[in-house]
Structures are given as C-alpha cells and as structure tokens.
C-alpha cells in the first residue's frame, strides 16, 4: 500500500473502527504509527513522512490527552484544529487517522496509570508533576490498540522519547521506536503546536532558545568543562532575552541522569514567554 495524497485518508473515530481497520490489513503489512496531539505542523509531517517511507501503512493518532496536562488552563488552551490536521495528513500521504474521544480512550471510571520511574520525575517531570505518567499511559494504550511495528517520536521531546523506549523495554513490547530530528523555523525555534499562541513580539524573542543552546555547544567545543557554569550562562542569556526559565540542564544523553566523565551530553531547556511554555534540547559536543 503506498501513501498517495490522492487516496482518501481513513478517519477512525473510535477504537472499534480502529480495530476493524487494523484487522483488514494484510498480516505482512508493516504498520508505522505516529502519536500526536494535533495542531499539526511540519515537525509532525517529518515523522509521518518517515513512517510512510519505512512502513507499508502510516497511521497517525490525534488525541489531546487530559492525563498528561497538569494545568487545566493549559489543557483548555491547547489548540484543536481537526479539519486542517486531516487535510495536512491527507497531503502528506498518511493512510489513516485515529481521532478518539476521551471516553473512547478511557472508558473506565478510574484509569490505572503507567508509572514513569525516577527519570520521569526529573526535569520536565519535576516541572509538570504527573505529565510523563499520563503520557506513558496513553502511549501504552495506543500501542496496545494499534499494534504498530514502528512508532515515530520527535527528538524535540527527548525525555519523552527516552521514557517511551524505557517503557517498551520494561514491558517487553517489540516496537521499533524511531527517533526523528527536530524540525526548526528559520530562526531555529523548534516547531511546536504551542508556537501559534506566542504574541508577535514574543515570537521575535523566541529564537533566543536556539541561540542559547548553540552558544552552549560552542563553549563546550572550545573547551569549557564546567557544566554548571554553562547552565548558568544559558539561564542568564535566556532571562536577558525575556524568558522565565524553568530549567536549563546538561544531562547524559543515554540515561537522562547527571553526566559522568565521558558522557554524551544533551542540554535540555524549558522556559516561558508570557504564558506560553516552550521546551527544547540539543546534543552537545558536535559541530553544527
């Protein structure tokens, strides 16, 4: 089955429709799955295109998962653009989109949540209590319904990617978790569904997030070894550019824990411009 923009995308509105669609696929068909929360952009598009390239069938889910929001205002403000999303998916050549309602996703009165472990409580997990447990709960449930061969995640959410891999390993799920590079705007701002909520003046400032990370990378390449000083520099650079910084940390890329000598390093950031919270990260020690 090839993904062609002229083929009408299947819109699967509940788990029963998903199951029928899944059972009708030939047993040999490799299913590539891209979980999203919608308000799609080219960052999501890169995952969908990779799934189409590597698999026989590409299925995308769109579900704004209430379990992973720790602030109700943030959940309500999350952009919902279903019909534009379906058009984009169609134009990218995705085969099917699963658009569950909250009751379809969580029919039970009390949801048993997947634990996120110690790394799930650090950084993004510390800033947003319960976020990763909610994220893993929905991803696990989606995996159980979709039975994908491969699932596609963005490096933009590097800690999420790490935890999804860890969950699959611990649960013995034989799904190939594929990491896709972060797609950025011209000024380096990582594409995100949240960017559309930035005011035009905040949008102008937002490229400083990328500049802060590239400066940290340059400092490391030119011999800086004091990581806490590096973190402090990033912090004050962002503050100077109008951000309220939640965290700016250098972690071991393989463990998401504190680095030890010889670790591959990644800088991870979360900062607010007005009421919009942005996250980003970059592998350090490599020439851009």
Instruction: Give the residue numbers marked as catalytic.
Output: 44
Number of Cβ atoms within 10 Å of the Cβ of 235: 18
Q: Considering beta carbons, is residue 168 or 191 the nearer one to ligand AMP?
A: 191
Smallest distance, ligand AMP to C-beta of residue 226, A: 30
160 contacts 152 by C-beta, under 8 angstroms: no
Phi, psi for 3 (deg, rounded to 5): -80, 105
Q: Considering beta carbons, is residue 210 or 227 the nearer one to ligand AMP?
A: 210
Residue 20 exposed, middle or buried by CB count within 10 Å (0-12, 13-18, 19+): exposed
Between strands 96-98 and 10-12, the pairing is parallel
Q: Considering beta carbons, is residue 49 or 235 the nearer one to ligand AMP?
A: 49
- Residue ranges binding ligand AMP (CB under 6 A): 36-37, 43-44, 46-47, 153-154, 156-157, 180, 182-183, 190-193
Smallest distance, ligand AMP to C-beta of residue 193, A: 5
Q: Under the phi-then-psi rule, with left for phi > 0, alpha for psi from -120 to 50, and beta for the rest, what region is 257? A: beta
Q: Considering beta carbons, is residue 193 or 263 the nearer one to ligand AMP?
A: 193
The greatest distance separating any two alpha carbons of the chain, rounded to the nearest whole angstrom, comes to 57
Smallest distance, ligand AMP to C-beta of residue 228, A: 28
Smallest distance, ligand AMP to C-beta of residue 265, A: 20
Structure tokens at 3: 């993904």
């Amino acid at each position: 089955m090839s993904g062609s923009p002229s083929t009408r995308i299947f819109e699967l509105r509940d788990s029963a429709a998903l199951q029928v669609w899944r059972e009708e696929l030939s047993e040999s068909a490799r299913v590539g799955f891209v979980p999203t929360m919608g308000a799609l952009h080219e960052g999501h598009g890169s995952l969908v295109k990779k799934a189409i390239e590597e698999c026989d069938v590409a299925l995308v889910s769109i579900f704004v998962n209430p379990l992973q929001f720790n602030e109700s205002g943030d959940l309500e403000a999350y952009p919902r653009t279903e019909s534009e999303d379906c058009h984009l998916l169609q134009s990218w050549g995705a085969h099917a989109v699963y658009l569950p309602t909250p009751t379809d996703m969580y029919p039970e009165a009390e949801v048993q949540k997947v634990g996120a472990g110690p790394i799930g409580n650090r950084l993004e997990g510390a800033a947003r209590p319960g976020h990763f447990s909610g994220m893993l709960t929905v991803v696990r449930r989606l995996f159980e319904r979709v039975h994908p061969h491969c699932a596609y995640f963005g490096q933009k959410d590097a800690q999420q990617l790490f935890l999804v891999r860890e969950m699959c390993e611990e649960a013995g799920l034989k799904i190939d978790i594929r990491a896709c590079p972060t797609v950025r705007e011209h000024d380096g701002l990582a594409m995100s569904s949240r960017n559309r909520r930035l005011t035009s003046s905040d949008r102008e400032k937002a490229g400083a997030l990328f500049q802060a990370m590239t400066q940290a990378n340059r400092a490391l390449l030119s011999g800086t070894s004091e990581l806490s000083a590096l973190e402090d520099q990033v912090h004050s650079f962002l503050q100077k550019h109008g951000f309220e910084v939640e965290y700016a940390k250098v972690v071991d890329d393989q463990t998401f824990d504190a680095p030890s000598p010889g670790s591959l390093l990644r800088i991870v950031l979360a900062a607010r411009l007005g009421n919009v919270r942005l996250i980003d990260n970059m592998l350090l020690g490599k020439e851009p």
